[in-house]
Chain A
Amino acid sequence: MATDATPHAPSRPTSDAPARTAARPAPQPAELGLGRLYLRRFVRNRPAVAGVVIFLLLVLFSAFGGRFTSYAYTDADFTALTRPPGAAHWFGTNQGGDDIYACAVHGLQRSLVIAVSVSVLTIVVAALVGAGAAYAGGRVERATLALVHFLLIVPSFLVLALVSHRLAGDWRVLIVVLTVFGWMPTARVIWSVSTSLRERDYVTAARFMGVGPLRIVLRHIIPNLGSLLIVNLTLGVVTTVLSETALSFLGFGVQTPDVSLGTMLADGAGTVTSAPWLFAFPAGLVVLLTVSMTLIGDGLRDALDPTSVTGSAGGRR
């Protein structure tokens, strides 16, 4: 349609051709890949980038930090009991002569593994239950909601404490227990968002195409909850770290000889005045971990939310 239909048009200069191809709608802004668009919006948020850097450093520290010391977290150095940080023991030692640096590396690793797996499992369970209930509707939906609401009013922390105590502090058990008692609030949120998604035209269209219910939930509802899930995932890490440390602090979580940040905090709390390093290093790591995840979560929320001001501020020039 854009070709010259006029016979008396002047001969076209050769430089014209590239200009016209550029004018075609091919390089439209919307074509900017969704992933790259989100990345760009995320990177614009400085604190979020700082969060990512801190988190990555923590992961590296927990994975490779043990190589820089000759002590393992189980080794007791009986020549150095309750020593402040120094050349031999970078973070000092505790009453039993354990190297705090080695303990911190291991405790962080333990806490991270628990936190990440619990929050992933929680999200998976919550998404399936919440979105499934919303799509199914009717009796299934009402029954699921009743269960969720019942579990929400049960004092889960106490139940958790009792159950995990009886199961004697294996960290894998802890993951299961934390997930079982942690998915309900997220499931409730996901359900309420999904109830609006199930009314969308594309869900109706899929139903009329003969697509099965499970497939509709997995392909059409859950992916469109993407931003909600990602944000909840990061913030779930924060919550899990805190509840795991809280449980361990109370003696219900990870049990000796295993070490997590929570047990370290519990050990250090008694001697905060006499040997502050026992408390300070694990506390610092917990703070860094939770702060970094919170920053990442906030950044993701802004990047994925099309109406956010922070995310789009850079578009103005």
Chain B
Amino acid sequence: MTLATPAPVPAATGAPAPVLSVRDLRISFPSEAGPVEAVRGVGFDLLPGRTLCIVGESGSGKSATATGIMGLLPPSADVGGQVLLEGRNLIGLDDRELSRVRGRSIGMVFQDPLSALTPIFSVGRQLSDALRVHQDLTRRAAWEQAVELLDLVGIPDPRGRAAAFPHEFSGGMRQRVVIALAIANRPSVLVADEPTTALDVTVQAQILDVLRRAQRETGAGLVLITHDLGVVAGHADDVAVMYAGRFVEHAGVEELFRRPTMPYTARLLAAVPTVDGGERRPLVPIGGEPPSLVGLPAGCPFASRCAVALDACRADEPGLREVGGHGRVACLRAGEIADGTLDPAGGAAPADDRVPAARAAAGEVVLRVEDLVKTFPVTKGAVLKRRIGTLHAVNGVGFELRAGETLGLVGESGSGKTTTLMEILRMRRPEGGRIEIAGTDVATLAPGARARALRQDVQIVMQDPLGALDPRMPVSQLLAEPLRAAGRDRASIRARVRELLALVGLDDTAGARFPAALSGGQRQRVGIARALATEPRLLALDEPLSALDVSVQAGVINLLARLKSELGLAYLVVAHDLAVIRYVCDRIAVMYLGHIVETGETEAIFADPRHPYTRALLSAVPVPDPARERARERIVLEGEQPGAARLPDGCVFADRCPLYRRADDTVRQRCRTRRPEPALVPGRPGHQYACHAV
């Protein structure tokens, strides 16, 4: 189906002509403060069968680039430059002309697979519609092709599932359908905008494999947009790093990771937490924040955060220049960095905010959870709701947390980790089991002064810092709120607010600003400061870093470590990102379907995971190093975490367990019939796992 249109761009001798050429793409959006220059002159060539990864932080313009290529920008956007698809410029085409190109010559995979599919049509119908729009096919032939496509992207029983509706598929399966839609007409270019960001890490690995298979099958060029440097390392041929609306480095994946030449790339790589490697190296935050895209000052936009910036950097913005053996780099000092005479980090001290990793002697028990159970009724029917089942969100979870210690609850979505956290914070009698905070059983707690005091002992930092801060209140008011709830007087509140701002590294002027005027990292600092206001002993952190960019993340990780040792706090961290957990936690509890399957010291679990689920989880996290990422052996789990409505009698993981499949019949019998009890790893106190087959 690929059209062999002669490209006007002269192909180099023997090299295939690029399927997609972007020349000086510029996109700006109107705003109150003036035009937001989201993309400022992006250009690249994409060869058939190759993968270009565009990587950058939020607001760097990578998604605007993708939507600009697809011609899906809102009408208010101002677009300039050229997008040449097989020699034809797509910029300036009207919607009807673009519709003939989109879907046939260029396909797109969106981030959120649920909103990318129409809920009222079966997936087979959607696929055959996509085929029939561009091809002259009978209904039956289109349906047959749709079934083939579903088979290609790895949907089991494609013929049966083609008649199913999007809501009957799990997230990963939906994303497979979206990929099938994108490749239905065998386009020559695929654009995937963060295709795995909404998915769990074990599913991410499957989807990336499908994407690669789809690309191989169609021979299409792939533009993969991501913020995850691990994904880049595993899948890219070429990498373009975006910063403030421009490519700042564009090179082959090997060269880029071997010696990142733009200081931004180098610092970004140094700030990424990783799961592999012998020991954890200290993270070096970049410092500062990405610039606003309204009225950018002259000069390199990274100069204010760069450790090796020269005066010339601030005068003129450097363009992309060819650097021998390193692709193209937009940096005046690229030459020096490339030949190794200049350290792009400028010798920035890693010990910045960092405290020694040595664990303080564990203090008294702050939180004890025993056999916690939480279920939700599963109901059906809109008018008369009847209960058709029970969702076992948390099932017999128990752990202990001491002052000065950090425990991480890790697991994929639906594993019950957030439910556990919320049950603790609710401070009510749990459905089953016991919750003890600072020696007090919450079930015995009557509302009153004791309850209020205990409430101050436990505070939460939420995942989305913007959502957790009331947009109508300035920072000083936000910080004063818990204090006011605790009944402090005005003068002491004012003093404490100033103290809190200093504690989390914000200056006094921040107190007068509204959350919307702060950057992501600053907002999360406010969230942490607010949680610390009443001097709690236990801080619950619900995915505290997942809404932050890599360059900002490191700073917050270091802040958390410093606060813990200064204030002797206990942290209970809930996260799905193992790499981040590794840098924050002393101990980890891995959860699957409401059960803790393995628990132990962080380094012990990373070095020697015992439970097959922990192993798979660790191996699914992509490593930001192409050599290791491509060479290492991966345990790809099949399927996805099932719903917790009908738990099996035996081990909850047996259905996906790679060990179960290899085990002999007696072990299988045990896995099927008996829930495994936690077993201690000999010689390692505290390291427990629950598995029959190890």
Contacts and interface: CB of A to CB of B under 8 A. Distances in A.
Interface string B441-477: 0000000000010011011101110011111110000
Given A5-B308, A13-B311, A40 B288 contact: no
B58 interface: no
A202 B469 contact: yes
Contacts of A28: 33, 292, 294, 517
Given A5-B308, A20-B304, A200 B467 contact: yes
Contacts of B467: 200-202
Chain B binding site: helix, strand, loop or mixed by DSSP?
loop
A211 B513 CA distance: 22
A37 B468 contact: no
A23 B304 CA distance: 8
A9 interface: yes
Interface in B332-350: 346-348
A315 interface: yes
B456 A23 contact: no
Contacts of A212: 485
A56 B431 CA distance: 61
A205 B517 contact: no
A24 B304 CA distance: 8
A2 B310 CA distance: 10
B289 interface: yes
B307 interface: yes
Contacts of A158: none
B76 interface: yes
A215 B486 CA distance: 13
A31 B452 contact: no
A209 B485 contact: yes
A205 B486 CA distance: 14
Given A209-B485, A312-B30, A312-B31, A9 B304 contact: no
Contacts of B304: 2, 20, 23-24
A22 to B, nearest CB: 6
B347 A5 contact: yes
B459 A208 contact: yes
Contacts of B297: 19, 22-23
A6 B481 contact: no
B313 to A, nearest CB: 10
Nearest to B295: A29
B530 to A, nearest CB: 8
A31 to B, nearest CB: 5
A28 B314 CA distance: 19
A12 interface: yes
Nearest to B293: A29
A257 interface: no
A14 to B, nearest CB: 11
Given A4-B310, A315-B30, A223 B472 contact: yes
Contacts of B470: 202, 206, 219-220, 223-224
Given A31-B513, A226-B472, A312-B32, A210 B299 contact: no
Nearest to A221: B470
Contacts of B346: 5-6
A209 B34 contact: no
Nearest to B486: A210
A206 B306 contact: no
20 contacts: A1-B287, A1-B307, A2-B303, A10-B310, A28-B517, A29-B31, A29-B32, A201-B468, A204-B468, A208-B455, A208-B460, A209-B481, A210-B485, A210-B486, A211-B484, A219-B473, A220-B470, A312-B30, A312-B32, A317-B34
5 closest A-B pairs by CB: A29-B33, A316-B30, A1-B287, A315-B30, A201-B467
Given A20-B304, A315-B34, 17 more contacts: A1-B305, A2-B305, A2-B306, A5-B347, A25-B519, A28-B517, A29-B292, A30-B517, A32-B33, A209-B530, A209-B534, A211-B485, A212-B485, A223-B473, A224-B470, A316-B76, A316-B78
